[in-house]
Amino acid sequence: MENTRRLAALVYRKWLLSGGEIQSMLPDGEGRQFVQDIVYTAVRRRRAIRFALDMFVKQWPKGELESLLVVGAAQILYMESVPDFAAVSETVEAAKRCENPSVAKVVNGVLRNLIRRRAEVESRLAAAPLAVRESFPDALVKRWERDFGPENAAAICIAFNRPADNFIAAKDGTFRKLEHGRKVQDEPGFADGAFIVQDPATRHAVELLDIQPGERILDACAAPGGKSIQIAWRGAELTACEVNPKRRRRLEENLARTKLSDKVQIAGSLDSLPDGSFDKVLVDAPCSNTGVMRRRADARWNWSAKKVAELVALQREILAKAAAKCRRGGIVVYSTCSIDREENEAQVKAFIASHPGAALATERSSLPFASDDDGAYAAALRV
């Protein structure tokens, strides 16, 4: 089997260069889960790891050496299940595959020094600012401190650095934790479409719809289809809307696996649907993903206030357009997988202010410092 540390270093390097989706870069076959654990840890903790390695590296390296040092340090500092000797020896073995023979010597020396001076490293990290020691962008941490207070901001950072559990949602609305490392395809009932993979935080949006059998419901931003499936399971007459062709294919695949293809109408655009034609509308809006950062290890590094502002404008447009499809007196549920108040509470207030007669019925939020679920927000609006 290929050296897993080498595979992890290659994936990490590819991510650094492309900024693409990590899951699509992971190798198939034996060792995939372990490679993923290393890469996710390295990506999450990259700022803290660099802070630690600066004690031993005078000039920050590039290329394979950088990736190998980060992968090695990630194991030593943050992966308790990996013995130090294995982290060093296997990472050095991976380094021996490099064209430059000095890479292995540098990796060996730096990682051994890191172990030898671990107490000093950990002491320096503990004294570092929150954004450094927990490895987040300064601007994002300052935003959380503004919105939630310093103590809760620290709790959010710590929660998002823990590997996420995976859950499966059954037709009866219950959720069950999936054993770590177990493939969802191996779970009984997968091929029969008996369940979907979703975090319990997703239940808020679906529950606020208060679905009654036979109601006409629109899922305005449907892909990949988890909430659409939960809605259809509850007996609604569902129309699922998705404009992105690639995401629409994922929606269709998930509906096919759960045997719902013939029960859900798929629309490509909201513009193709008549106004006032649905009893209820779900707007699960595109967002900054700040609620699911423990699942998306790279999301913190893709975040910026500018991107949030652009998303807020897009959300406002989608919400207004989707709400027009709901009959008078009906319910629109707006939801995100974000914990950002501009995308959530402020977005709902702006909608109510610009739509006479609209009113907030109820809202729910899932915050990582208050629960073990993902961060999420959902609001039911009577229109």
Residues 237 and 101 occupy one common structural domain: no
pLDDT band at 369 (very low <50, low <70, confident <90, very high): confident
User: Other CB atoms closer than 10 Å to residue 32's CB: what's the count?
Assistant: 15
Averaged pLDDT, 349-376: 94
Residues 138 and 171 occupy one common structural domain: no
Residues 277 and 204 occupy one common structural domain: yes
Count of alpha carbons within 13 angstroms of residue 174, beta-carbon side: 5
| Tens digits of residue pLDDT in 141-153 | 999 999 999 999 9
Contacts of residues 240-246 at CB distance under 8 Å and 24 or more positions apart, as own/partner, are 240/264, 240/265, 240/266, 240/267, 241/266, 241/267, 241/268, 241/269, 241/270, 241/273, 242/266, 242/267, 242/268, 243/268, 243/269
| Tens digits of residue pLDDT in 77-135 | 999 999 999 999 999 999 999 988 899 999 999 999 999 999 999 999 999 999 999 99
Q: The whole model's pTM is what?
A: 0.92
Looking at 68, 103, 128, the residue that finishes a domain is 128
Residue 145: give the domain boundaries: 132-162
**Residue in 232, 229, 173 with CA at minimum distance from that of residue 204:** 173
pLDDT of residue 321: 97
Residues 89 and 226 occupy one common structural domain: no
Residues 32 and 124 occupy one common structural domain: yes
Domain with residue 45: its CATH number is 1.10.940.10
- In sequence order, the β-bridge partners of residue 168 are 176, 197
Residues 314 and 239 occupy one common structural domain: yes
Residues 230 and 376 occupy one common structural domain: yes
Q: What is the dihedral sign for C-alpha 208, 229, 33, 40?
A: negative
Averaged pLDDT, 10-38: 91
Residues 141 and 189 occupy one common structural domain: no
CB-CB contact of 165 with 377 (8 Å): no
Residues 174 and 158 occupy one common structural domain: no
Residues 353 and 256 occupy one common structural domain: yes
Residues 152 and 261 occupy one common structural domain: no
Between CA 335 and CA 379 the distance in angstroms is: 6
Residues 209 and 299 occupy one common structural domain: yes
Between CA 381 and CA 285 the distance in angstroms is: 15
Domain count of the fold of the chain = 3
Averaged pLDDT, 284-308: 95
Least confident of 13-17, 28-32, 142-146, 341-345: 28-32
Domain with residue 222: its CATH number is 3.40.50.150
